[in-house]
Structure 1
Amino acid sequence: MTTEHPDLRRRPVRDISTRGSPRATLLDAQLSSAELRRARGHGQLRRLAHGLYTSPDHLLEEDSAALETLHALTSGSDRLVSHATAAVLQDMRPGRLDAPFHLTSPRAGSRVRRPGLVVGHRTDVPEQFTTETLGLPATHPAWTFVDLCPQLNGLLDAVTLADQMLRAPRPEFGERGSQLTSPEQLEAAVAARTASPGVRLARNAAHLARERVDSPRETELRLAILRAGLPEPSVNIRVRDEQGRTLFQPDLAFEDLRVAVQYDGHHHSDPQQVERDVARAEIAMAHGWIEVRLTNRHRAAGWQAAIRKIVDALRAHGWRPDGRIRRL
């Protein structure tokens, strides 16, 4: 009678489960090269890129392969996800998380050499500007903002991004979470990057950025108002009555002059929204405010039509220009 012995070369490797890891890490975990090959053959490991592997159970959702690859690239190292990759990871900019991935290593650290997969950067990032996002080591959003500035399309683009980062989600709109950074963190990140490319743009944008800005159009309009030499309006403040009850919340407000500016986007054509807008205007008028309502057609020629309407309202409440035009 012949006794059959199992072919151990075909047997699955037991209990293989790993998040994105480099080959060296798997071999350090007491896997042999042969076992690693068997694990791949049995589908217990999936190759992400040359020398990078993960368990299939970590590849169930959109972008999961990219996350696993980033985990493998940063695991056991001092590398940080940075630049455009960190911006997508942290919802600073829209887009898919995809190669080539941007990674920052310390100046004295090892250089990442993976053409097509990694864009490597070398700089020393202070600990206060590092964070963890989705389990990955990354540059803090404030630091990432400075990294992005050389690729942004001028001051408006930079201030729009900074405004978005400073905006806290609004529960009344069903939003959750927290703001990506604070004005203080943004200013500190700029101050720490004196010799970085794009730092001048970052500095100017951080100076002009404001909290509570709800849309890029509000940023664009606010900068046009400043360029025209008008007083700086407050952003999305709550106008209250003498009992402290909220009356309305304008997009922009010249509080001392009681002039409110509302930018009506496409959603304001909804009949129910129109009713709310009319009721808000009536409340504003009843409490001595002038409401300036603007639409997309007022954007033409650098918001010139909008500026004329705002100036007329400000003058009606006693404002007089000083003749200065700000250069932003």
Structure 2
Amino acid sequence: MADDAFIGDPADEDEAFVLDTSRPFSRADAAKAKIKPSTLRGPRFVRLFSGVYVSVDAPLTPLQRVRAALVPFRGNGFASHASAARVYEVPIPTLPDEHVTVTAAAHRRTHPGIVCHVMRKPRAVVFDGIGVSSPDQLFTEFASQVSLVDLVVAGDHLARRHRGVTAATLADFAAAGGLPASRAAATAAGYVRENVRSPMETRLRMLLVLAGLPEPRINALVGTGDGMLKRERDLERREEADDDGWRILTVVAKGIYRRPDLTLEKIHRVLLERGEPGVPKHVSDAWRPHFPVVR
């Protein structure tokens, strides 16, 4: 009978088990697939975490490590904090551990390299096939791991890339409390803006705002006298921009990561010379903890 093919003892089921070794798997899954412990320790596989392996031929991407961190929890956890940021491809600083959140202490596991959190009523979603904190929840979680500027970088990215995520939704989740860094997240949400195209744009904006200078407009559209919009490559033509009364200031990575003081000095001087409204005579020092000067 055809139905007999679905009836058998556990040994028959183990024999039929097919393991995709290109994705992280547990030692128990390896045993079920008849892979010997000595083979796991050999050159064919890489150990990602204690008891978690993958084929040596599989690419070791950040997403692969997140998947590996979830294996020990057997469906009872989801990626959170920095791991959720990696799933969403948020630009973040180097953070070594993976983070998994479970909804009950009984599901908690201890593994080197994996930080486990417990949250009774999380807001989790499925993204790219992975259980993960919602973007709003991630923002507040992430506030416990990174600085103000890095958190605003993350918020700008989420607001640009994920429908329904705004500075207001991020602030609302933070205001509801329930997570350790809610207050820091609420503060950072006030600086989040939409349509920011790169982390460097965020960092330059934060440098200026923390120094007390007027906040620059995000990707402002520049028009000609007849109402037509100039293309970005037209704005790169310095002569034409000068004719329209624009002043082009170039800021490179060094001006943010090593000499933010010189960047501020240059921009502040130009704003004062042009008589721009709202420009203080002296800049605030509030930027200094977030943008160290490296001489």
TM-score bracket for this pair, using the shorter chain length: 0.5 to 0.7
Q: d(CA) in 2 for partners of 1:307 and 1:146?
A: 33
Deviation, 1:209, is 1.5
Q: d(CA) in 2 for partners of 1:95 and 1:322?
A: 32
**Residue 305 to residue 125, structure 1, CA distance change in 2 (3 Å):** farther
Decide which of 157, 160, 166 is 1:182's aligned counterpart. 166
Partner of 2:102: 105
Q: TM-score, normalised by structure 1?
A: 0.62
Q: Could you tell me whether the CA contact under 8 Å between 1:228 and 1:307 is conserved in 2?
A: no
Identity %: 23
Q: d(CA) in 2 for partners of 1:49 and 1:230?
A: 47
Partner of 1:82: 80
Decide which of 184, 189, 192 is 1:209's aligned counterpart. 192
Partner of 2:249: 293
Is 1:311 the counterpart of 2:276 in the alignment? Answer: no
**Residue 94 to residue 159, structure 1, CA distance change in 2 (3 Å):** closer
Q: How does 1:262-281 map to 2 (within 5 A)?
A: 279=237, 281=238
Q: d(CA) in 2 for partners of 1:245 and 1:66?
A: 49
Q: d(CA) in 1 for partners of 2:26 and 2:149?
A: 41
Q: Name whichever structure is richer in strand by fraction.
A: 1
Is 1:39 the counterpart of 2:34 in the alignment? Answer: yes
Q: Could you tell me whether the CA contact under 8 Å between 1:88 and 1:97 is conserved in 2?
A: no
Moved more, 129-138 or 289-298: 289-298
Deviation, 1:70, is 3.4
Deviation, 1:53, is 6.7
- What secondary structure, in the 3-state scheme, does the structure 2 residue paired with 1:246 have? coil
**Residue 143 to residue 217, structure 1, CA distance change in 2 (3 Å):** same
Q: d(CA) in 2 for partners of 1:312 and 1:201?
A: 36
Partner of 1:69: 68
Q: How does 1:105-254 map to 2 (within 5 A)?
A: 105-106=102-103, 108-126=104-122, 129-153=123-147, 155-168=148-161, 181-192=165-176, 194-241=177-224, 244-248=227-231
Q: Could you tell me whether the CA contact under 8 Å between 2:49 and 2:69 is conserved in 1?
A: no
Q: Which runs of 5+ in 1 are unaligned?
A: 1-8, 27-34, 169-177, 250-272
Deviation, 1:300, is 2.2
Q: d(CA) in 2 for partners of 1:248 and 1:65?
A: 40
Amino acid of the residue matched to residue 282 of structure 1? E
Q: d(CA) in 2 for partners of 1:166 and 1:215?
A: 12
Deviation, 1:247, is 1.3
Deviations 1:10-56 (A, max 9, x none): xx9345235655577x6xxxxxxxx93671139799786666577x5
Q: d(CA) in 1 for partners of 2:51 and 2:251?
A: 55
Give the RMSD, CA atoms, in angstroms.
4.2
Q: Could you tell me whether the CA contact under 8 Å between 1:59 and 1:65 is conserved in 2?
A: no
**Residue 95 to residue 302, structure 1, CA distance change in 2 (3 Å):** closer
**Residue 164 to residue 97, structure 1, CA distance change in 2 (3 Å):** same
Partner of 1:258: none
Deviations 1:134-185 (A, max 9, x none): 32201123322211212223x33332332233345xxxxxxxxx67943343
Name the larger-Rg structure.
1
**Residue 223 to residue 17, structure 1, CA distance change in 2 (3 Å):** closer
**Residue 74 to residue 113, structure 1, CA distance change in 2 (3 Å):** closer
Q: Could you tell me whether the CA contact under 8 Å between 2:135 and 2:165 is conserved in 1?
A: yes
> How many aligned positions are there?
261
Q: Could you tell me whether the CA contact under 8 Å between 2:140 and 2:185 is conserved in 1?
A: yes
Amino acid of the residue matched to residue 72 of structure 1? V
Q: How does 1:23-62 map to 2 (within 5 A)?
A: 36=31, 39-41=34-36, 56=55, 60-62=58-60
Deviation, 1:121, is 0.5
Deviation, 1:208, is 0.9
